[in-house]
Structures are given as C-alpha cells and as structure tokens.
Structure 1
C-alpha cells in the first residue's frame, strides 16, 4: 500500500520512517515534507501546502494512495478529513468538528465537564478585563491559555499575578479573542497518545515531554524540547484509571455528540504527588516530540493500526506489541528559539550520530544546493533506544554531540525527573 503523510515536522518524519518499516507499505509521500523525508528511501516529497486540500486530494488520486495520515493540527481544524472523505479517501485524523477538542480549549473544557472527566477548574473569557478581574480574584500561580491554535506555545504558567495579567495582554495583542484561565495544578505532566476509531480506543505507551526552553524546566514554553517513553510516573495502575476515568468517557462523549472521531486523542495529563490524575488539555493529533520517542518502541505495524481506526475495526485488532526498552528524544533547536532565530545554517554530523546508534528525525530542515540547512526553530529530534533509561540517555547525548550547526541549542537534562528518582 501507499501512504501520504501531511506535514513537514519531526513528527511527520517519524511517521514516514515508521510506516516504511511495514512490509505492507511500498511507498510514502509527504506534503510538503522536509529535508529528512526527502532523503528517506521509498519516500517522496510533494510541494503542496498542508491547507491546500484540493491539491492534496489530487496527489492521492494521481499516485494511487491508499491512506492519508495527517500530522499537524491546523489542517485538521480546517477540515482536511471532511474534504478527503468526500472523495472516499481513507484518512487518519478527526473531522473538523472533532478537531475542536484542540482548536477550542473552551469547547474541550465543556466536553470534559459533560463527560465527567477530571480537569482543572477554570473559566473562559472574551473580555480581557473580565479575565484580569478573575485572575486578581483567584491569585497566583495560575495558568493563562489562548483559546485557539498556538503551535504548542499558547499556555503561560504564571507564577505571579503580574505575569498572568501580562499574559492576557500578550495573547490579546496576538489576536486571540477568547482566553481561558485555569487553576495551577501541581505534579508531573504525562502525554498519552490514544488511537481511536470513534467506537473503541488503544492508548500508546505514556511519554513525558519537556516544554520549557531552559534546563530545570525554566523559561518560555516551546513546542517541546525533548521527550522519553515510557514515562514511569504513569504506572500500570494509573494508566488503568486513565483509560476508565478519562479516555472511555471522552470517546463516549464525542460519539454521543455524533462526532465521527477517527484519529489521535492526545491527553495531556497532570499526575499529582498523591496520584490524582487530571486532564490539562486534549490535542487532536500525534504529539511532537513524543511521537519521536514512542514510535521507535512500537513493534505492531503502524499502517495496519491506522487502517483499523479508519475502517472502524479497532475493537478486533490484536493487542499492541512494544519493545521492552526506553526511548529518549532530544530536540536540537536554532539559537534564539522560541523567539526570533536565523535560518539557512548548514547542518553536519547526522551520519555520525546515526553510526553511534541514534535516529535523527528532521523537523526544521530543508535541502538547499544539495546541502542540508536549518529552516525552523526546532531543527532536529535525535532519538536513541536503550535497554535501560540510563543507557538510552547516554546513547542519545552521544548522538546529539555529533550533530552541529551554527547556534545549535539543546537541553542537557532531558529525562531529569527519572534521573532524580
């Protein structure tokens, strides 16, 4: 079978890489793809924008593609699945209505309350002054969120009231007309990427992302500076509760609303020190960089799993098979990210990192005059697998140190919570 992956980040490179490991997959196409997908064997980039749905549908028809896998949230929120399904194209990703679970935090909050899912207490505001009054009433620390897509960076965890008030102003200036203010939850964050056909669901192994730019989880939020899987804080007992108290009621609530949700239901969770679990947010797609840590451990053919979701037969799909190992992904970012950064810096050392046992997933890269150069804020995701967490950490940082480009920045403490244990 042939598969089209929509998107151009590290997540999409990881999806293409994993799909090509299946004996059933004869070729993968990426729209538009990146410098990494351009160099994968049996993979072809096609320069079509992720929101040009008619052109994507034509790519499918012209190349005899059997399955479309949508990576980013933007095309999902704009209705790519609805458009492709009009042409009877099999697409893994929820419809526009289902994608509201990420595109609108207030919509997602209402759904969680309706389903009885444990989540942070909060309010939604269209009036910035009302949001500020609520913040002053509640005090700090407090969380301010953009009620819309913000590339993973629309959440401000404010330690002071002043910081929270400034966050309201900043999000308003960026054009967000709706702002959500929530209580600050204490604990460890865990990402659970769950695949669903709208009837039943299969959670993948839990991962832990590192969203802050600075070591020790300091500084600004980013799209994610690294991840590891499985996350030991999400014990089997906790995962059983997550399935029963969070995932099952959410899938049922979507179905009760008549939403045909075939795709990823990504639950961002907070696990408190006493073991309580609450949903911080839902996303409608694979996480980035969690996907780069989770998929290398998956032994079940990914194409067959995604097809089962598209064809609504997940209930009868065999149990998922996993490597008994740990995977760690470290993101190499452009200097200055998540603020202004330069592009076009030549990248070297990827072959050396690969020879040391890492898999290098490209995120913000492109080929220019036959040279690989930087083209985004998060440039590469270097992933390594080890029999133990310590072995994976040692191997991944050997790979990271082999890679070079001007201004390259990475966190040296990915997985610090496990190391502290």
Structure 2
C-alpha cells in the first residue's frame, strides 16, 4: 500500500513515523516533508497549497490514501478536490474545516446549540471592537481574549492581561493586518479560567473515537511567559482530564457538535481537535481544529497501539466502527526546540548536531523546521525539533526528553525548561 503525507512539520514526521510501522504500508511519500521525514519517506517537492498538483501526484502514483497534516490546505478544499476525483483522502472537506477556518462559524455553531464555550462578540470594524474593549475593561479584571476569525498558524489568539494589550491586539489583527484576510473579522470572547487540554477524535461522518488527551504549552517562555506560539511542548495523558471528565466532554461537547454539523448537512470526517478549558463549571471549548495538533501528535501517536494506517483508511471509508482503537498504558512528554526569536523573527540555516546521541539516549526526535544542506541537517523554521520520550512515569519521560534536548545543539536554540513540571 502506498501512502502520501501532506505537510512538513513535527506533526507530519510523527504521522510518517507511525504510518511507517504499519505492516500494510510498502511505500511512503511526503510533500514536501523535512530532513527527518526524508529518512522514512520519499520527499516530493511542492507546496501544500497547490491542491490540484497534489491530487495529480496522488492520481498518477495510484496512492491508496493521502493524509493531510496542516490546516491550510484543508481550509481551501484539498479534500473536496480529492473526493471529486474519487481519490481516497483523510481529512475534513472545506465545509467541515470551517470549524478551524472560521472562529465565527465555530462560535455560532456552539452558541446556537448550547455547547459549553465562552460568550463572545464579533466585529468587522476595529473602532467598534476597541470601543467594546473599553466598555468591558471597566467591568472586569479578567484577561480579554481577542481572536482573528481566520486561520493564523496558532498565532492569531491574544490573551490580553491589560486593556492596552487588548487594544493592541485589535490593531495588530485589523489595522496592521498581520494575518491578512484572516483578520477581516475578529472575536472578542470571555476568558475561560482553568487548566487547558487538547482532546482529539477520529471521526468518519457517523462514528467517532477518542484519542488519549494531551496538554500543550502555548506560551514561548517558562511559567507561561511571552507570546502564544504553535506549541512549545506537551504531555499525555492528562491527569486533570480523567475518564469521567472525558465522558462529560463526549456527551456535552463532541456528540452535540457532530450532530449540529450533521443538521447542516456536514458529515465531519478526519480528526476533530477540541481545545478545552477545564473550568470550575466544567469543560468548555476554547477552540476547535480540523486536524491533528502540533505538538500533541508527537505525544499521542507514540501511545497508540492500533495500526494508524488501518484507522485512517477506515475513517476515510466511513468504517471506523470496525476498528478497535487501543492505547498503551504509558506516558509521553515532548519538548520543542525552537529557533531563537520564535515566534517573532529568527534566523535559518543553523547546523544541528546531536540528534543521533539524543536518539541513543532513548528519545524519539521528531523534525519540524529542518532541511538537509551539504550533507548536514540545518534549521529551516521557528519550531525545529520535538524531542519525545515515552515511559511508565512522567518523571522518567521528562528526564529522558530533557537528556535528549541537552544532547542536541544548534546556534541560538530555545526551549522551555518547565514542560511537565506541574506533574511532579
């Protein structure tokens, strides 16, 4: 069986790593992939946004299943292009991907159907948004949450501690247009207090199956300082989201959400990612994503016992109910190594050493922003590597992951030193 993975990040390396373990997979392609993915899959040059060219490749090579990693091609309709041609594909179509592609769409769906989430207001005029911030800042000391409506690579959400920060967020999104058309509208919403968790589900349009939950670290610096990032580390499972609370999430959030989508004629297929706040009043939705989380995938897939290729094929075919999905009774921790300056400006092309040493010490090193140049692995993105460890205790995982991180070096490397600290 031949599979194609679309994407080039740590999530896609984790997908490739897991799919390569399937007894049924003979050949893996990755478009465009990265230096790490290139060790286990044949890299195909191209852009993840060139959906016709990707479908052409899948058709020409008789690919048995294409797995879409990032959100951007999903939001512009890559799955629709594949389905039009009768090509097997894993991921939600354009209509379903609005769950991530439009904060406004997702919020309205939740509020209209009584799905627990924070209250919000929507604005397409920066002056009105700023007036609203002035009015609510006088009534609350809670942070103010400002979100670009559209997809912004995890960087379009601002949790503003002060009124000035909230006003600046509106300016960044709507006036400076830092996220382009994704900032044509914005959402100002109620701050949800409590620990956060990422709870992902396989969904085939009728059946859905939970994955083991994860908790990620979005802020750039230790003790949750600095700007929001795509994620600086994570762990799984999540003690703050035990089995009984997972059942609550399924009953009050996931099942009603998929039912509400179905009532609109949208049969959600692929991965539904629920970003949750575990508040004193119960779990509430912060956001939905239409794909595997990054870096959550780097801790969730190592804990998956069932063949991932089998799950993805069954999901794409609407036969998920035929595959029992099982998990190892273990823990996993991932520490992200980023380029200095991330999530702001950073330099590329820094030589990376020590990856083999980290792997020999027991870590799984997932590549994100890496390339091969003159026989060496160099940095090519903001998040460079995800160093994952699997074990029977969080303590062992944390120690092994950080031993791996300390074995690796590249100029101006940055990582958080507190991933998993709250577990100890």
Whether TM exceeds 0.5 here: the answer is yes
CA–CA separation in structure 2 for the residues paired with 1:371 and 1:64: 33
Q: 1:199 aligns with which of 198, 206, 230?
A: 206
Does the aligned pair in 2 maintain the 1:238–1:275 contact within 8 Å?
no
CA–CA separation in structure 1 for the residues paired with 2:55 and 2:75: 17
Q: 1:339 aligns with which of 335, 341, 344?
A: 344
Report the 3-state secondary structure (helix = DSSP H, G, I; strand = E; otherwise coil) of the residue aligned with 1:216. helix
Does the aligned pair in 1 maintain the 2:206–2:267 contact within 8 Å?
no
1:367 equivalent in structure 2: 372
2:272 equivalent in structure 1: 265
CA–CA separation in structure 2 for the residues paired with 1:200 and 1:134: 41
Deviation track 1:382-417 (CA, whole Å, cap 9, x = no partner) reads: 000111011111111001100110000100100122
Does the aligned pair in 1 maintain the 2:310–2:323 contact within 8 Å?
no
2:163 equivalent in structure 1: 161
1:217 equivalent in structure 2: 224
2:57 equivalent in structure 1: 59
CA–CA separation in structure 2 for the residues paired with 1:389 and 1:371: 33
Does the aligned pair in 2 maintain the 1:9–1:364 contact within 8 Å?
yes
Q: 1:243 aligns with which of 220, 240, 250?
A: 250
CA–CA separation in structure 1 for the residues paired with 2:236 and 2:401: 13
Structure 1 residues 106-255: aligned runs within 5 Å: 106-139=104-137, 140-172=142-174, 173=176, 174=178, 175=180, 176-255=183-262
Structure 1 residues 240-319: aligned runs within 5 Å: 240-272=247-279, 274=280, 276-318=282-324
1:328 equivalent in structure 2: 333
Report the 3-state secondary structure (helix = DSSP H, G, I; strand = E; otherwise coil) of the residue aligned with 1:144. strand
The CA deviation at 1:101 is: 0.6
CA–CA separation in structure 2 for the residues paired with 1:116 and 1:202: 22
67-76 or 275-284, larger mean C-alpha shift: 275-284
CA–CA separation in structure 2 for the residues paired with 1:111 and 1:27: 40
TM (norm. structure 2) is 0.96
CA–CA separation in structure 1 for the residues paired with 2:158 and 2:316: 35
Question: What's the Cα RMSD here?
Answer: 0.9
The CA deviation at 1:63 is: 2.0
| Gap runs ≥5 in structure 1 | none
Structure 1 residues 14-33: aligned runs within 5 Å: 14-33=14-33
The CA deviation at 1:275 is: 5.7
Runs of 4 or more, structure 1, over 4 Å off, are none
The CA deviation at 1:3 is: 0.8
CA–CA separation in structure 2 for the residues paired with 1:238 and 1:12: 29
CA–CA separation in structure 1 for the residues paired with 2:146 and 2:261: 26
Report the 3-state secondary structure (helix = DSSP H, G, I; strand = E; otherwise coil) of the residue aligned with 1:373. strand
2:397 equivalent in structure 1: 392
TM (norm. structure 1) is 0.97
Structure-2 change in CA distance of 1:39 and 1:316 (3 Å): closer
CA–CA separation in structure 2 for the residues paired with 1:52 and 1:71: 14
CA–CA separation in structure 1 for the residues paired with 2:79 and 2:380: 28
Q: 1:94 aligns with which of 71, 92, 96?
A: 92
CA–CA separation in structure 2 for the residues paired with 1:38 and 1:62: 21
109-118 or 222-231, larger mean C-alpha shift: 109-118
Does the aligned pair in 2 maintain the 1:199–1:255 contact within 8 Å?
no
Tell me the number of residue pairs that the alignment of Structure 1 and Structure 2 aligns.
Answer: 415
